[in-house]
Structure 1
Amino acid sequence: MLVPVVIDGVEVPEDGTPSVDHAGELLVRSAAGDQGAFARLYDMLSPRVFGLILRVLVDRSQSEEVLQEVFLEVWQSAGRFAPNKGQGRSWILTIAHRRAVDRVRSAQASADRDVRAGFRDLDVAHDGVAEEVELRIEGKRVAQAVAALPESQREALTLAYYGGYSQSEIAALVGAPLGTIKTRMRDGLSRLRTEMGVTS
């Protein structure tokens, strides 16, 4: 008898059969105005979404703000979720990552305006600002490269690097064999290296 694996409170069978997309079901119900379903969705995914945002922004208070923005967007746009195009969990994580990157870009634009207006002492802050700008530009390039990947590769990498899932957990979540997930991630990382001009 197969014993189900439990991921984030959701039972996933070990026999490789496609898992039920609980987040997707809750999204569909939320789109119909079911506030109880949305509350369950928030309880189920908010810790994972917050962790993703925090890894991008580092600042906890900003991450909490973005978390609320993400779930407000999820509530307002749940009707745009297409169950036949992917898992609800990865759809929400994608929104969260985009919102976090947007916040970084907004902060950078504000910093640039401050510098142009002469509000900062560039002699003192130059090294730190230059390093921060370089990191943010690099992060933007990575986000653009990830967005250009095929959906299956992007989903696997998003769940792994932004969602914190292992390869076996991803296989269970998306209902694909572990070998397929490994291939998607390997091919996706190879394409990212090419896009970023990494030769080694």
Structure 2
Amino acid sequence: MDAPTPLSSSGEDAARGAERRLMAEAAAGGQAALAQVYDLTSAQVFGLILGVVRDRTAAEEVLQETYLHAWQHAADFDASRDTIAVWLCGIAHRYAVAHLRSVEAEAEAEGGAADEESYADRLSEAMRSLPPEQSQCIALAYYAGLTQFQIAARTAQTLAAVRSHTRAGLSGLHDHSQRARPETAATRTPEPA
């Protein structure tokens, strides 16, 4: 089966032009444009952040930092390179990783996490444990913010293959995290009496 055909260039050009105009208005301080960017992208951006930091309160703070940065640097947005969502997801990922590093540095300074691997290290190890096609689909979806259709077009795979690789990869990451998690009294299965 052939890979799906990408959007027509005229439709894509129109979408990029609309995003370019929206970000130009945001760069000029347009409140309505800022609100529209937030409404269109915040759910996706928040999902990415929450997946990295794993704490809702921290994710909300990182989301706020992400949009503050984006609004202060709206003029830097280049519609020929990225969509608004991909651009914001890149900013969000950097802030989320910086937050994790800050938390880990504080914990190490307090002596609490000196022996533990960092979350980023564990995630990298888990991603390396996956077959390449699975880790590629997950990376493109969660770090680049691409849809499964966009991943299929970019990697010349069928949409069904992308869905299958993503599902299997997420399952593999879950299994890896379960194997790597130290057993605690709360998670131990009681032995029969």
Measured against the shorter chain, the TM-score band is 0.5 to 0.7
Contact 2:19 2:79 in 1 (8 A): no
1:84/1:103 CA distance change after superposition, 3 Å: same
Deviation at 1:164, TM superposition (A): 6.4
**CA-based RMSD:** 3.5
1:85/1:39 CA distance change after superposition, 3 Å: same
How big is each residue's C-alpha offset from its partner over 1:93-114, in whole Å with a ceiling of 9 and x where there is no partner?
Answer: 1000110000000001111111
Q: What number of residue pairs does the alignment pair up?
A: 144
Q: 5+ unaligned residues in a row in structure 1: which ranges?
A: 1-13, 121-125, 146-153, 172-177, 187-200
Residue aligning to 1:47: 43
Listed as ranges, the matches of 1:110-149 within 5 Å are 110-115=106-111, 120=112, 130-131=115-116, 133-139=117-123
1:82/1:138 CA distance change after superposition, 3 Å: same
How big is each residue's C-alpha offset from its partner over 1:142-195, in whole Å with a ceiling of 9 and x where there is no partner?
Answer: 99x9xxxxxxxx9x8655124765421x26xxxxxx443446xx9xxxxxxxxx
Q: Take 1:81 and 1:111, find their aligned partners in 2: how far apart are those partners? A: 35
1:69/1:142 CA distance change after superposition, 3 Å: farther
SS at match of 1:83: coil
How big is each residue's C-alpha offset from its partner over 1:12-43, in whole Å with a ceiling of 9 and x where there is no partner?
Answer: xx872142135444222201221110101101
1:43/1:163 CA distance change after superposition, 3 Å: farther
Instruction: Find out whether 1:17 has 2:8 as its counterpart.
Output: yes
Contact 1:94 1:158 in 2 (8 A): no
Contact 2:63 2:92 in 1 (8 A): yes
TM-score, normalised to structure 2's length?
0.61
**Which amino acid counterpart does residue 90 of structure 2 have in structure 1?**
T
Residue aligning to 2:30: 34
1:76/1:61 CA distance change after superposition, 3 Å: same
- Aligned-residue sequence identity (percent) comes to 34
Instruction: Find out whether 1:88 has 2:78 as its counterpart.
Output: no
TM-score, normalised to structure 1's length?
0.59
